[in-house]
């Protein structure tokens, strides 16, 4: 029962995050999405992933709250209550397939191959991913420094 409520909450908050007009409310709805996702992870038995998701989400949202006003136009009109209720209704309708349909037969066939072994027998995958992280950060720093140098001219 709790998982079903969290599922509905996750989809409703995702819809609100995308389609609310005000940037602050939109980021707050994204915060709710992160929170619901972390709770679903925890209830599914992946507590470590839940804590990490929560920590990463808090960091991302802090930056988003700080830069949200800069990135968005001042809302010309506030989101009407009818639109907000419509979004909530759309979220409930969109969560119905996840609640009542099931394709677990197909997924369990995939799991029987031993998903973990398939991933972790590939030596160096973690090293490749860490390299990707470092490369991404380096690329970002290069772009920011290039922009700063050009604006200084």
What number of chain residues touch other proteins (CB under 8 A)? 68
DSSP 106: H
**Inter-residue contact 20 to 79 (CB < 8 Å):** yes
Q: Which pair of tokens denotes residue 39?
A: 């709770």
Q: Is 79 in the site for other proteins (CB under 8 A)?
A: no
Position 102 contacts other proteins (CB under 8 A): yes
Burial class (CB in 10 A: 0-12, 13-18, 19+), 25: middle
Please report, in angstroms and rounded to a whole number, the separation of the first and last CA atoms in the chain: 61
Q: Which residues of the chain form contacts with other proteins (CB under 8 A)?
A: 3-4, 7, 10-11, 14-15, 17-19, 23, 26-27, 30, 33-34, 37, 40-41, 44-46, 48-49, 52-53, 56, 59-60, 63-64, 67-68, 70-73, 94-95, 97-99, 101-104, 107-108, 110-111, 114-116, 119-120, 125-126, 129-130, 132-133, 136-137, 139-140, 143-144, 147
């Amino acid at each position: 029962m709790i998982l079903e409520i969290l599922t509905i909450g996750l989809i409703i908050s995702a819809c609100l995050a995308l389609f609310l007009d005000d940037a602050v409310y939109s980021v707050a709805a994204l915060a709710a999405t992160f929170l619901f996702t972390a709770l679903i992870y925890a209830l599914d038995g992946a507590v470590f992933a839940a804590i990490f998701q929560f920590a990463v989400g808090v960091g991302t949202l802090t930056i988003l709250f700080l830069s949200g006003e800069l990135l968005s136009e001042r809302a010309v009109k506030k989101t009407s209550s009818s639109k907000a209720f419509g979004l909530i209704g759309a979220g409930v309708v969109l969560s119905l397939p996840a609640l009542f349909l099931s394709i677990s037969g197909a997924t369990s066939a995939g799991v029987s191959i031993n998903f973990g072994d398939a991933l972790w027998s590939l030596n160096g995958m973690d090293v490749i991913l860490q390299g990707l992280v470092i490369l991404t950060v380096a690329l970002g720093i290069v772009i920011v420094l290039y922009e700063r140098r050009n604006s200084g001219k």
